[in-house]
Chain A
Amino acid sequence: MPLVETNRALAGPAVLKSSLAQHGIDSVALDLNADVFLKFKSSAHQSYLRDFFYKQIIHDEIIDEVNLMLHYCANQIVKLNPRIIGLSLFADDCQVFTTWLCALLKQMVPDAVIVIGGPGIVGFDYAKKIKKAKLINDYISGDGEISFVNYIQGNMEYTGINSSSWQPVEDLMKLPYPDYSDYNLYWYDQPSIPLIDSRGCVRSCEFCDVIEIWKKFQYKTADFIFAEMMYQIGRHNVHHFDFRSSITNGNLREFRKLIVKIAEYNQTKFRSEQISWEGSFIVRPQNNHPEEMWAVLEQNNAQLFFGVESVIPRVRHLLGKNFENSDLDYHLQMTQKYSILVNLLMISGYPSETYEDYETIKQWFRDRKHFANNSVKLVQIVPLGIIPNTKLYRDSKKYNIINADSGRGWVNQELNISPAQRTTYHNELKKVCSIECNFTVK
């Protein structure tokens, strides 16, 4: 479901399609976000559209555009004459559009059953509320690969169906490979295939809900992932993979084995047929990631997303990341040496960051501007929104944080830095990174 601001394919529908097919159930998997995001990107009113998607504010200027998006999606679904419509919400940001689409679908095909699922149905008690409003028939919490099959087979007592309690899939490697045959993978900016290499995380960062959703870290082995890559390449002739886990190097043994297999494969291929991939990567102490690993990674055409969050060690350690700044510097040096692209994921204005910290962070970037577009491809800086169902949310009183329910409107009363002041800092930091240091910033 829109809107997820990405020009990459979303995996959910393809994952469910293959699980259904395994049980003899026909389905069509649509990535409606891809089409809507394209319309969004070409709109002259993106900020007004964001107001609609994220806050349900309706500006006159976008009424026709929103209406067109809703009817486009509804028609894509209705023309298939579905008996059951499953809508997958990747994030809370999909809730407004889903609500409107369901209202329209209930008018157009009142007899079709609408069921929703995905990580985006949890926030704000959304699933229960939209069911109560009779805009959907049912919802499925948690992993859908098995529960959705049970739902369609009529086993309404199965865990996760119309209930917030659910059981994670026990073994990721017993699931079939996702089926992207309904997607036009060449429709996206860069054709790529999502690959779910693990679930959960080996870290437990207090601001993140991944560890709350999947309490146990599960991974696919190097052999399994590589076989999946070969299968998808054979089917779609696409060689770029998006690892959609929170962490590609959660299991170091399997990770090292996988990158060696990819490097060996690539050595036998022309560049256009080589595998490339991108994924989240945790920074670890230097001895965990020795130089020979970086040399192998160079042969992987990999782009790594470092979840740095804060370059203030005190703040970073407390939020749940135990590496040192010297480890981060080592990683940047290695990626530069071996021409590996990196995205730095930063949070601006973490609750425990002070004004003094803000200045230290700006200086940290100034001191590392030689990495700008020379290994560091992008610095992604986001303000912190406190997510319900996280440790940070639960501990907000302990930290003297008020308005934790408001997403980004929270205030740490000890430091008394207002959301507006954080926004000012956020803009200043982006300016320092982009104008002073020449980083590409998002």
Chain B
Amino acid sequence: MNTDLSFFLEFEQGIESVDVVIHDRDKNILADIKQSHNHSVKVNCKIKLSNKISITINNQNNIKSKFVKLSRLWLGNIELNQQTLLQLCEYTPSQSDTKFTTIWNHNGVVVIDLFDKDFTSFLLHYHNHIQL
């Protein structure tokens, strides 16, 4: 079963380039985006439910004082809430970063592990409300 995955990344001025690579459990690359000179990027791709999707975000400048923020993410028509996004991120933001919910001041990885779960159990597992 395929569904759309889309998300917004926002990054601070000073970050000149960000690599976003999305691949599935079998290491197939679903999207590979190099973004520069913009403060945000929206990424769209098709993913297979019942799979493990990794979104790797590389801040190529590797300037540790600069932020990359995963601001919004949709699976199909459902937007995951911030609590869910936070749980999906490999790196937990530091205490001083609390004004952002899902940010990295270094490279970050988001893992959407749909393997062994279906769509609704994934949403329920993360206590993700469907907000209208």
Q: Which residues of A contact B (CB under 8 A)?
A: 56, 58, 63-64, 66-67, 70-71, 99-100, 103-104, 106-108, 126, 129-130, 132-135
Contacts and interface: CB of A to CB of B under 8 A. Distances in A.
Given A56-B129, A104-B119, A133 B77 contact: yes
Name the residue in B76, B121, B124 with the highest tally of chain A Cβ atoms < 10 Å from its Cβ.
Answer: B124
A107 B76 contact: yes
A379 to B, nearest CB: 36
A106 B76 contact: yes
Interface of B: 1, 3, 49, 76-78, 118-121, 123-125, 127, 129-130, 132
A177 B105 CA distance: 67
Contacts of B78: 103
B120 A70 contact: yes
Contacts of B129: 56, 58
A107 B49 contact: yes
Nearest to B126: A58
Contacts of B49: 107
Contacts of B123: 100, 103
B130 A63 contact: no
A70 B124 CA distance: 11
A99 B118 CA distance: 17
Contacts of B1: 107-108
A100 B130 contact: yes
A129 B132 CA distance: 6
Contact of B130 (A56, A66, A108, A132): A56
Nearest to A132: B132
Q: What are the 8 tightest A-B residue pairs by CB atom distance, in nearest-first order? A: A129-B132, A63-B124, A134-B77, A58-B127, A67-B121, A107-B119, A99-B130, A70-B120
Contacts of A106: 76-77
13 contacts: A58-B124, A63-B124, A70-B120, A71-B118, A99-B132, A100-B130, A103-B119, A103-B120, A104-B119, A107-B1, A107-B76, A129-B132, A135-B132
A73 to B, nearest CB: 11
Contacts of B130: 56, 99-100, 103, 133, 135
B120 A104 contact: yes
B77 to A, nearest CB: 5
Given A58-B127, A100-B130, A130-B132, A135 B121 contact: no
B76 A63 contact: no
Contacts of A66: 120, 124
Contacts of B119: 103-104, 107
A107 B3 contact: yes
Contacts of B121: 63-64, 67
A63 B77 CA distance: 21
Contacts of B125: 63
A99 to B, nearest CB: 5
B120 A71 contact: yes
Contacts of A70: 120
A96 to B, nearest CB: 8
Contacts of A58: 124, 127, 129
